[in-house]
Chains A and B, each alone.
Chain A
């Protein structure tokens, strides 16, 4: 009897153990045309689940709960969907706006903020049950109608920072007391901010400007000093090319000494010295950069491009500031995501319905996964990063 019980206990525990796994090597891939996401793992590079019914996922992005088990997916149609990576299911889905562009999770993990085009503003939800906590319409100073909001990121102190595309403002939203949201506005920050990023230490917020050259920078250690313009003249005297796709800014583009930024309307990556925020150099590239992303160790920068050059990926060696690889990965290379320590990079290739995994050591193709019109790839190591 005793032996039987022991056997039973052993069997049970092994069954339970078979189901246990960590989420640290997991992630999701947005399938933009079919309203679905793939849950993947990057140790064996396999697809674990496909979750359907997430609505319009063009331009969708995601953030993670602090336990890296749940993803919050922000859809174009205003959908906010909380999914469970382990079970591969939707926990809850709400339609919170008419047209939205992305979101962020608060420092303490309790609040999820969503940036909306229509109606313009930011809404904040409980990460637990997606109930509404705060609704902050983005009415610019002296304006009547709400602006589209872009470049929403989290900042230390349970704050969020974002920019007003039509209002030329940056807003610092303090939710340290969620019942009393407090907004600090910075006006006249530059023309048409199209996206924003915050440095990994949560100190520096930058908004890229579409309506003029340069970027707006806000030092969150000293918000009272206001917004400063950097690289105001990077395109001066040169004709700007048509912009077929707005660049993206994300905290990935910062290395220890430099920030690497897409030039709007030019085939260039701008390199900024982080000590004094002056221009260090410009690197000529094969198209208009969309994402400019540093490998986690900061030694390489991987760049993808806007239509009609979106089959190219180029790799910049930071030590020499030279392009060391030019890869033809296939039409519609929309997004890149590094594994947490950067030995590999996953690249979504929309027009081939594929996600391609490359070694970053020598830029060789290691594996191709099938995915339907893939766009954003988001690994769970973002859960512990400010601004992602």
Chain B
């Protein structure tokens, strides 16, 4: 239900901002973002991203989530679920990269998913 509600808001947000277009992030920024993902997002989602106080962020767990939904959750957060909004810290391109990275990564062994 939460998912559906957020999804609607996302579509609206997308229309307004035109977000979702893929933009490139420098190699160095990519490394910074991956570090942030494991070390800082990891404080709730686990350093290996398999979940903690927050849910798992491994590809298998995100499979059913559209990219737009993930972008929205990272940017706006889910206040009632303790997920903070990151849009003050991360640019739309940064968030785009993270979503691509999280859903397309191939460096997670099957057994850990």
Contacts and interface: CB of A to CB of B under 8 A. Distances in A.
A56 B47 contact: yes
B82 interface: yes
Interface stretch (B22-30, B48-56, B59-67): B48-56
A246 interface: yes
A246 B39 contact: no
A99 B40 contact: no
Contacts of B53: 101, 117, 148, 150, 165, 194, 246
B84 A242 contact: yes
A388 to B, nearest CB: 21
A322 interface: no
Contact of A99 (B43, B52, B86, B88): B52
A245 B46 contact: no
A100 B112 CA distance: 16
B35 to A, nearest CB: 8
Contacts of B51: 99, 117-118
Interface residues of A, number: 29
Contacts of B89: 308
B52 A117 contact: yes
B44 interface: yes
Contacts of B39: 332, 350-351, 373
Given A76-B47, A117-B52, A192 B82 contact: yes
Contacts of B85: 242
A373 B38 CA distance: 12
Contacts of A192: 82
Helix, strand, loop or mixed for chain A's interface? loop
Interface in A127-151: 148, 150
A84 to B, nearest CB: 26
Nearest to A244: B84
* Chain B interface helix/strand/loop/mixed: loop
Given A99-B52, A117-B51, A117-B53, A58 B82 contact: no
B46 A244 contact: no
A295 interface: no
B46 A76 contact: yes
Interface residues of B, number: 20
B89 to A, nearest CB: 6
Contact of B40 (A118, A244, A246): A244
A141 B27 CA distance: 50
A184 B80 CA distance: 28
Interface in A28-44: 32-33
Interface string A212-252: 00000000000000000000000000000011111000000
Contacts of A244: 40, 43, 84
Contacts of B80: 211
B40 A58 contact: no
A67 to B, nearest CB: 32
Contact of A58 (B46, B77, B84, B86): B46
Contacts of B50: 56, 77, 99
Interface in A264-314: 307-308
Contact of B88 (A165, A242, A373): A242
A358 B104 CA distance: 44
Contacts of B43: 58-59, 244-246, 307
A378 interface: no
Shortest 8 CB-CB distances between A and B: which pairs?
A: A58-B47, A242-B84, A245-B43, A307-B40, A244-B84, A242-B85, A243-B84, A56-B48
Interface of B: 39-40, 42-44, 46-48, 50-53, 77, 80, 82, 84-86, 88-89
Given A77-B48, A99-B50, 12 more contacts: A56-B46, A58-B43, A59-B52, A99-B52, A101-B53, A118-B51, A194-B53, A194-B82, A210-B82, A242-B86, A243-B82, A246-B44
